[in-house]
Amino acid sequence: MHSYPIDELVSRSSNNDPYLCVKHKSRSIMLIGQYVNYLLTAVSEEDKILQIMTELTSRFDLRASGQARVILGIEITRDCMNRRIFTSFGAYFSSIHACF
């Protein structure tokens, strides 16, 4: 386990990425990803997001930015009725293609 501060809030860091922390318990999952000055949280139970954000803001100087729509060039679309999340790399690929 890595010694990042957010590790105290979750059970373990990902084996593949030390900036991704995962907590999995029965049918519930929580992910916290860290990139430079940004934290991206995802939870399977909506009431848990308030709990984790309250805990994080009590320990760190954070501002809630609302739901992520784009991160690292990846567009995020939600289908809340069907509990699905879709990602698209189209804008990212377009920006890379424009460089050549």
Element (H, E) at 28: strand 28-35
* CA–CA separation, 79 and 97 (whole Å): 29
Could you read off the pLDDT of 24-79 as tens digits, one per residue? 777 778 888 888 877 788 887 777 778 778 887 887 788 778 888 888 788 889 88
pTM of the predicted structure, to 2 decimals: 0.59
Least Cα distance to 56 among 2, 1, 6 occurs for: 6
